[in-house]
Amino acid sequence: MQIAKQTFFKFTLLFILIAIGLLTKVYSGIGNEFVTNYLGGVIYVLFFIVLASLVFPKASPIKISLIVLCITCLLEFTQLIHIPTLELFRKNFIFRALFGSTFNPYDFIGYFVGALSGLFLVILVNKFRTPRSPEPKH
């Protein structure tokens, strides 16, 4: 069974985005504050837009991008809540990497950049289609 080109590209993008996203969390070179704090947010939104486009292939890329942007913004606002249960989770690296730990209004810029980039990326990838065999003539 042949995998559609766009599905293959999306899975490849997911693996690349996971690697880049993890690297942004541990990067310590030049511009590390920008990479760690802001580029990670862009990658985070990109990842979830590509993932959602895989799970819901017929959904509009615009709808997917807007939904992911809204959820990401809501998650940012949850960082203003400091109840003991959430604080316990925030001590865990994976939870902190996925959901954050400190509210920063500048993160919204990265989320919007990620949503726009994800929208255009999914539109571009969706243009790749596996060629279909011609219908047999009767």
CA distances from 2 to 38, 50, 52, 129 (A): 38, 20, 21, 12
* Per-residue confidence (pLDDT) for residue 14, from 0 to 100: 95
- 25/22 Cα distance (integer angstroms): 5
| 3-state SS assignment for residue 47 | helix
Residue 133 belongs to a domain? no
Q: How many separate domains does the chain show?
A: 1
* Per-residue confidence (pLDDT) for residue 89, from 0 to 100: 81
Structural domain boundaries, residue 54: 5-126
pLDDT in tens, 87-136: 888 888 777 777 777 899 999 999 999 999 999 999 999 887 655 655 66
Structure tokens at 117: 């980039």
* Per-residue confidence (pLDDT) for residue 99, from 0 to 100: 77
Residue 132 belongs to a domain? no
* Per-residue confidence (pLDDT) for residue 50, from 0 to 100: 96
Structure tokens at 64: 């997917």
Residue 101 belongs to a domain? yes
Would you place residue 10 in the very low, low, confident or very high pLDDT band (cuts 50, 70, 90)? very high
Instruction: Put residue 119 in one of left, alpha, beta given phi > 0 → left and psi -120 to 50 → alpha.
Output: alpha
More confident residue, 84 or 45: 45
Residue 121 belongs to a domain? yes
Residue 137 belongs to a domain? no
Residue 136 belongs to a domain? no
Residue 134 belongs to a domain? no
Q: Rounded to the nearest 10 degrees, how much is the dihedral formed by the CA atoms of 118, 122, 123, 124?
A: 100
Residue 79 belongs to a domain? yes
| Exposure class string for 10-44: b at 16+ Cβ within 10 A, else e | beebbeebeebbeebeebeeeeeeebeebbbbbbb
More confident residue, 19 or 98: 19
The number of C-alpha atoms within 13 Å of 22 and in the hemisphere containing its C-beta is 6
